[in-house]
A = this chain, B = another copy of it.
């Protein structure tokens, strides 16, 4: 190993210590820190993320990266380190251009906007949030001006969350979906309305729910020695390395399905991270940075597997033991309930079909903001118009409309399409998986889900961030990205469920 590489690795190790504690502070703020302890954590988090950003954009970092890019150094690097140097050089050039005060303003406004958003949502008062949304939009435009000079803002944002993705591709994919799903949903909804199953609103002991989660995580292949579970207001997954991956959940006493499907969804994210090549730990090669690809794994577990009746066959008795009310629900009714298609206001509660419209709506809103420059005070009306267009319902207030998601308060413009891209990839992955491993229904019936996990580990997870999404899908499925397999999956599944 060259002296320069050794120096670079030592530098990264120190930077990684900062990132390690930033991750831990964030985790603890969401899962354990008491109300009055939040400020102390925020101060520490600000300190260490600023230090980490400073290290990542220092002159020293630039010199080392330039040195390693020279032929005599670069040629003797392993492939992994070649990737790391190239990727970090790209990050460095982007971030180096951000003035320190702009970065600080962004971080600070993010925190403020998050708090204001929460209050605005609780009071269902968009006017509180509007000025902060405006600030986040302005700062986002300013930031992309530095990171991606000359690039159209929304293209830059899409690329940030799903490297290599662009709006032309997404437009095509989403148009294909709309064309097929609008009539499909219409046919489904023309059926007699599905009766609500009253048992689902009974009392489900949170401890039983915790045990169900443990059972499900173990069943799908989450490794307990390399991860743990916490509780937070909203479920999320984070990781320190492949050896320490944490997920959270929230248990509602009268809604067992929320925690069950969150457990499977976050479990999918976590299994991804636990199975990245450990050589990549604590580098930009590890921990998948592509949100569409990440969501493809969580949503594969949650929807493709978790909403398949056969997934539950081997474990439905166990579910009934842990949460006895399920003993009163035949598996067929359970299956129908977890695939109950209906137009509804809240994205995170939507079924897997109408979920697509929730994302398409947000994608179109984001284009309206950054491309058409629709003023923030006109956004709620636009939201409601699109809700009516795609879901034939109009929110009674902004809390169940435009204020429902926290993403924009965080500056996460361009993230939403990832969810649906993930499902689109899933349709393709399902096809390939069945070609290579056989019928997925049979695998699930026979309790062989860990075979599926092993396949995903090998085909997707192992590579971490070293393959961009398009490349990963092309490599695994041998095809370019298309919504056709997902559409076919929806049609086959729902014409059967709804006998249409």
Residues of A bordering B, CB below 8 Å: 14, 17, 20-21, 24-25, 27-28, 31-37, 39-41, 43-44, 47-48, 207, 224-228, 230, 240-241, 243-244, 246
Decide if A244 touches B17 in the complex (CB within 8 Å). no
Q: Which of B24, B34, B39 touches A25 (beta carbons < 8 Å)?
A: B24
Residues of B within 8 A of A25 (CB): 21, 24
Q: Shortest distance in angstroms between A374's beta carbon and chain B's nearest beta carbon?
A: 41
Whether B34 contacts A228 by the Cβ 8 Å rule is yes
Determine whether the beta carbon of B20 is less than 8 Å from that of A226: no
Distance to closest chain B CB from A243 (angstroms): 4
Q: Name which residue of chain B comes closest to A282, CB basis.
A: B40
For the complex formed, measure the closest distance between the CB of A123 and the CB atoms of chain B, giving whole angstroms: 22
A43 — which chain B residues lie within 8 A by C-beta?
17
Q: List 14 A-B contacts (CB under 8 A).
A: A14-B47, A21-B24, A28-B28, A32-B228, A32-B246, A34-B224, A34-B226, A34-B227, A34-B228, A34-B244, A35-B226, A36-B243, A37-B228, A37-B243
Is the Cβ of A44 less than 8 Å from the Cβ of B20? yes
Closest residue of B by beta carbon distance from A240: B40
Q: Which residues from B are CB-within-8-Å of A230? A: 32
B243 touches A17 (CB 8 A): no
Interface of A is mostly: helix
Which residue of B21, B34, B225 is within 8 Å of A48 (Cβ)? B21
Task: Flag if A36 contacts B226 (CB, 8 Å).
Answer: yes
- Chain B contacts of A224 at CB under 8 A? 34
Sample of 12 further A-B pairs with CB below 8 A, known A14-B47, A34-B225: A20-B44, A21-B25, A21-B48, A24-B24, A24-B25, A24-B28, A27-B28, A28-B28, A34-B228, A35-B226, A37-B244, A40-B244
Listed from nearest, the 10 A-B pairs whose CB atoms lie closest are A37-B244, A36-B243, A21-B21, A35-B225, A36-B226, A17-B47, A20-B44, A34-B228, A36-B225, A17-B44
Min CB distance A107 to B, Å, is 16
Contacts of A21 in B (CB 8 A): 21, 24-25, 44, 48
A32 to chain B: closest residue by CB: B228
The smallest C-beta distance from A27 to any residue of chain B, in angstroms, reads: 8
Residues of B within 8 A of A207 (CB): 207
Nearest residue in B to A206 (C-beta to C-beta)?
A: B207
Q: Which residues of B contact A44 (CB under 8 A)?
A: 17, 20-21, 24
What is the CA–CA distance of A225 and B225 in the complex, to the nearest angstrom? 31
- Bound together, the chains give a CA A406 to CA B172 distance in angstroms of 64
Q: How many Å lie between the Cα of A392 and that of B32 in the bound state? A: 45
Residues in B with CB closer than 8 Å to A35 are 225-226
- Roughly how many angstroms separate A36 CA and B37 CA in the complex, as a whole number? 28
Chain B residue at smallest Cβ distance from A43: B17
Provide the bound-state CA to CA distance between A20 and B28, in Å.
12
- Which B residues are in CB contact (< 8 Å) with A27? 28
Write out the residue numbers on chain B whose beta carbons fall within 8 Å of the beta carbon of A48: 17, 21
Cβ contacts under 8 Å, A34 to chain B:
224-228, 243-244
Contact partner, A226, options B32, B37, B225, Cβ 8 Å: B37
| Bound Cα distance A356, B184 (Å) | 77
Q: In whole Å, how far is A242's beta carbon from the nearest beta carbon of chain B? A: 9
Assess whether B225 is in contact with A33, with CB atoms less than 8 Å apart: no
Residue in A31, A33, A36 with the greatest tally of chain B CB atoms within 10 Å: A36
Q: Is the CB of A40 within 8 A of B243?
A: yes
State the CA gap A228–B17 with chains docked (Å).
26
